[in-house]
Amino acid sequence: MKIAVEKLDPAFRDEVAGVPGGENIRKCFACGTCTAGCPVFQVEGAYNPRRIIRMILLGLRTEVLSSREIWLCARCYTCTAGCPQGVDFSNVMMALRDMAVREGLAPADLPERIERIGSAAHEMRRDAINLLLGMAGADEAKVRAGAEKVLAAAAPAPSGRK
C-alpha cells in the first residue's frame, strides 16, 4: 500500500484512543499476539488486527473506516485477553464500526445484521457440535436449518436500502 502523507489524519489515532477500550492503542508495539490468536485471521488472512492498529496509528482514517475488515471481527476478545500492552482491540473494532456508520461509509443497519449472522452462526455451531456428540434431539435437519438461518441473515438488504 502506497501512503500519501498529505492524506493522513493524525487526529484519527487520538479519536480512537478517546473511545472506551481505545485508551491504550498508542501502546501497541506490533508484537502480533492479537493476530496470532485471532480465530478470524485463521480463516481470513486479509483480517489482520496488527495491520489495522498500524493503520489507525498512521492516521489512515478513510482506508480503515471504509475497509471490509472492520466488519469481520467476531468480538471474541482473544486479542484483548492476549495483548501485553492492554489494547482492547475488540472494543476498538466496535468504535471503528460506529465511526464508519456515523460518517456514512457503511449502512446504518449493518451492525445489527452482522450481529444476527453471528447469533445464527453460534446456534448452528452448537447444533452441529450436539450432532457430533450424539446428543439427544440433535439431527442434521436442525443443523441445515441453522445454516439456512445464517444465510437468511446474510441476504442482501431489500432494494432501496443499503
Pick from 119, 108, 111, 129: which is nearest to 149 by CA? 119
Q: Which amino acid is at 8?
A: L
CATH number of 8-102: 1.10.1060.10
Q: Exposed, middle or buried, 75 (CB in 10 Å: 0-12/13-18/19+)?
A: middle
Position of cell 500500500?
1
Per-residue pLDDT of the chain (162 residues; tens, 9 = 90+): 777 787 899 999 999 999 888 899 999 999 999 999 999 999 999 999 999 999 999 999 999 999 999 999 999 999 999 999 999 999 999 999 999 999 999 999 999 999 999 999 999 999 999 999 999 999 999 999 999 988 988 887 766 444
pTM above 0.75, yes or no: yes
Domain residue extents for the chain: 8-102, 110-154
